[in-house]
Structure 1
C-alpha cells in the first residue's frame, strides 16, 4: 500500500483511498443515473455506471480487508428528482451492499437530492453532511468552508485528471488523486471520480480552473502533488505541479 498522507493509503489502480483510522474506504462521484439523464437529451450511452461501481467497491473491500465504505458525495446524478432507472440502480446497489454486510456512510453531494427516498429503506446506510475525526474532515467539497489549522480535508466534486503532453505533442489523460497543501499546515485531498463517464477536469496551476471553493481559494497549487492512476498498472506519485508545468496541459 502507498501512503499519500499520514494514515490515508491507496493500492493497485483503485480510485479510492483507505483510512486506517476509520477502517474505511473512501470514494466519490459515482453519478448513478447519468445514462438515463443523457438519454432524456437524446444521447444514448451504454449503461456502465452500476456495473463499474459494484466491481470497484467489491474489489476495494477485498484489497483493504474492511466492510466499511464512505461515499463522499454525488452517488446519484440527477439534480431535480429521482429518475426511474436511477432509483432502480441505486436500490440494486444498496441491496448488494446490505447483503454483503457493508456498512455505508453516505455524505451528501450537490447531486444527491432525493437520495433519502432510497437510503431510508436500508438500515446499513447513514446519510450525513460530513464526517470529522480528529484532524480528518471529509465532505463533498461543493460548499464553502473556512479551513482550520492542522486539518486534512478529503473532498470529491473536482474529478481531478492530469493531461500530459508527450514529445510529439499528443496528450495522454489519467485520473488522479490531488494532494495540495493549504495555509495553516493543512491539506486537501481531491478524490478521482468513480463514475465511468466522469472522465475528469484537468489539474493545473490556475485556481479558477477548479470547482471546489476550497481548491479555488486556499490550495497552494505550486506544491500540489498528483498521485496518478495508471489502469492495470497501479498508482504513481508525481512531482509537484510547479515541476510539471511544462508537460501538463
Structure 2
C-alpha cells in the first residue's frame, strides 16, 4: 500500500523504491535486561523475534540503503551488556540486506555511537532522500528547503479497535500535514508491545502537539488496512 507516490508500507518498514531505501524505527534493543533489573523475569527473545520480523519485511525489497530512524537501543544514558551485544549483531544483520546502513539518533541513543563505532557506522541527527526528510521526532530540527515529506517515529503509534466486548490493538501508521508538508508517523519495530493507542492517549512528538484529529490511520496486520481519519474512529 502506498502512503504517497514515493513511499510504500512494507509491514513495519517504509520502502522508497526510487532510492532503493527502507526505513525502520524504534527497535528498543536491550529492553529485557532493563525489565530484569527491575525484578521482572522475562526470557531473552527480543533479538531473534526482531530479526524474524525484519526479515519478513525486508527480504523481498531491492535495497541499497536501510535507515534506522532512532531508538535502536532502550537505555538512555548508559549501555547495558545486552545492548552492547544486540546492537553489534543487528548492525551485521541489517548490513546483510544493503550497502549503506544509516542510524538516525533518537532520544534513547545518547551514547549509541560508542557501540556503533566498533563497526565503523556513524550516527546522524537526520537524513534526507531527495524531498523526503527522516528524523526521529522527539524534537524539531531545521527542515531543509524543498522537503515535501517528513518521516518520524518516536511515539510508537497503535490503535485499539473494538467489536462489542472484544478489543485488539494494532500497530499503525499516521499520515497528516505539518506546515504544508506530508508528515508520516511510523510504528515501532519494538515487538514486546504494540505501542501507544492514538485514540486515547496524547502523543509526545512536538510535530504532533497541535493535534492529530485529521490524520489518516493505516493499520498493520497481515497486510496494511486503511481506516480513515482518526477523528472518525473516536
Fold similarity call, TM over 0.5: yes
Contact 1:163–1:202 (CA<8 Å) still a contact in 2?
yes
Deviation, structure 1 residue 100 = 5.5
Q: Does 1:68 align with 2:57?
A: no
- TM normalised by structure 2 equals 0.90
Q: Indicate the SS of the match to 2:194.
A: coil
User: 1 CA distance for matches of 2:108 and 2:21?
Assistant: 23
* Equivalent pair of 2:23/2:67 in contact (CA under 8 Å): yes
Does residue 110 of the first structure (1) align with residue 107 of the second (2)?
yes
Asked if 1:241 corresponds to 2:234, the answer is no
Aligned residue in 2 for 1:224: 215
> Is 1:177–2:170 an aligned residue pair?
no
Deviations 1:96-119 (A, max 9, x none): 344565521000000012211221
Does structure 2 conserve the Cα–Cα contact (< 8 Å) formed by 1:25 and 1:60?
A: no
- Tell me, yes or no, if the aligned pair for 2:13 and 2:23 is still in contact at 8 Å: yes
Report the Cα offset of residue 244 of structure 1.
Answer: 1.8
Equivalent residue for 2:41, pick from 44, 50, 70: 44
Q: Are 1:98 and 1:122, in contact at CA under 8 Å, matched by a contact in 2?
A: no
SS at match of 1:47: coil
Is 1:121 paired with 2:118? yes
SS at match of 2:217: strand
* Residue 144 of structure 1: how far off its partner (Å): 3.0
Number of residue pairs aligned between Structure 1 and Structure 2 = 233
Residue by residue, what CA displacement relative to the aligned partner does 1:6-57 show, whole Å, maximum 9, x if unpaired? 200013xx21110123311101000001000111110122222211222233
1:210 shift after superposition: 0.8
The aligned counterpart of 1:144 is: 140
2:6 corresponds to which residue?
7
Contact 2:25 2:188 in 1 (8 A): yes
User: Is residue 206 of structure 2 the alignment partner of residue 213 of structure 1?
Assistant: yes
- Alignment match of 2:128 (pick from 124, 127, 132): 132
Provide the rounded CA distance (Å) in 2 between the counterparts of 1:226 and 1:98: 31
Gap change, CA 1:77 and 1:90, over 3 Å in 2? same
SS at match of 2:122: strand
Cα gap change, 1:68 to 1:140, in 2 (>3 Å)? same
What displacement does 1:67 show?
A: 4.3
Task: Name structure 1 gaps, 5 residues minimum.
Answer: none
